[in-house]
Amino acid sequence: MLQTLANTLPHFRNTNSGQFFLMAGPCVIEGEDMALRIAEQVRQITDRLQIPYIFKGSYRKANRSRLDSYTGIGDEKALRILEKVGREIGVPTVTDIHESEEAAMAAEFVDVLQIPAFLCRQTDLLIAAAKTGKVVNVKKGQFLSGESMQFAVDKVRQSGNENVILTDRGNSFGYSDLVVDFRNLPVMREFGVPVVMDVTHSLQQPNQSSGVTGGKPALIETIAKAAIAVGADGLFIETHPTPASAKSDGANMLSLDRLEALLVKLTRVREAVR
């Protein structure tokens, strides 16, 4: 396992000789066995393809449409599972935080703190994450341009932390759809940070009348290929053995049994464009 991801962050910056990296895992931690199984399978795939891998899992889902939506198995329990994944599978881990006081707590268990898109302008949250010394992955707000994310990077850096990643997840398009403007990736890359395309969240269809987010998973390959073609340093893909039974965001997840074939294609795209 990487001792500290912060010490190796330049490795996650796409170069002429490098490979893109992958953040992947379930939307939310549903249990220990499933988290370990997903992490182990993805680790085996990425090892074969020589793709640097970070396991992704939310310890709690705070941004839900309905009061009865699934939020998690409990903060400490889920965080300890993330810690165990990192220790036993030997990969860095990333989870999202929602309020300033969560930063120090989550930082005890994971390598990367992720700032949700809706919260990317929350100054206190960004400062708290930065002060942990962990890598901070800031998702671009659905309501922002790539250019405006310079200010999020500045907040983290000016708080004493140079380890920043920016992730695009599309822009709001009408009331219940998102569209990806691939210009945002090279624009954000000019800030001197690795940039990631959140493939699966960019295919969400939020604010459905049922209160359950929809999605267009058939376009996962399209978005991923385009992101690699324009120079994304990494991809963010939520994956699950059975998306239809996932506790959260199943409508836009990639089935785990389809991940390797997709990554093989993406490594070929990466090789072609470099």
- Span 111-151, pLDDT tens digits: 999 999 999 999 999 999 999 999 999 999 999 999 999 99
pTM of the predicted protein model? 0.90
Q: At 81, which amino acid appears?
A: I
Every domain of the chain and the residues it spans? 19-273
pLDDT of 4: 47
Report the mean per-residue pLDDT for the chain.
88
The residues pairing with 239 across neighbouring beta strands, listed in sequence order, are 254
pLDDT at residue 9, rounded to an integer: 57
Looking at the chain, how many residues does it have? 274
pLDDT at position 15 is 46
**Averaged pLDDT, 207-224:** 72
Residue 251 to residue 213: CA distance in whole angstroms: 7
Rounded to 5 degrees, φ, ψ at 51 are -110, 120
pLDDT digits (tens, 9 = 90+) for 254-269: 999 999 999 999 999 9
For residue 152, give both structure tokens: 């999020």
**For residue 206, is pLDDT > 70?**
no
Burial of 95 (0-12, 13-18, 19+ CB in 10 A): buried
Q: Which helix (H) or strand (E) holds 95?
A: strand 93-96
Percent of the chain residues topping a pLDDT of 90? 73
Query: CATH for 19-273, among 3.40.50.1980, 3.20.20.70, 2.40.280.10, 3.40.50.300?
Result: 3.20.20.70
> Which residue has tokens 């785990």?
256
Query: What would the pLDDT profile of 219-256 be if each residue is shown by its tens digit?
Result: 999 999 999 999 999 999 999 988 887 776 667 789 99
- CB-based contacts of 226: which residues, under 8 Å, 6+ apart? 180, 182
pLDDT: which is higher, 173 or 249: 173
- pLDDT reading at 62 higher than 80: no
Contact 78, 60 (CB under 8 A): yes
C-alpha–C-alpha distance, residues 69 and 91, integer Å: 30
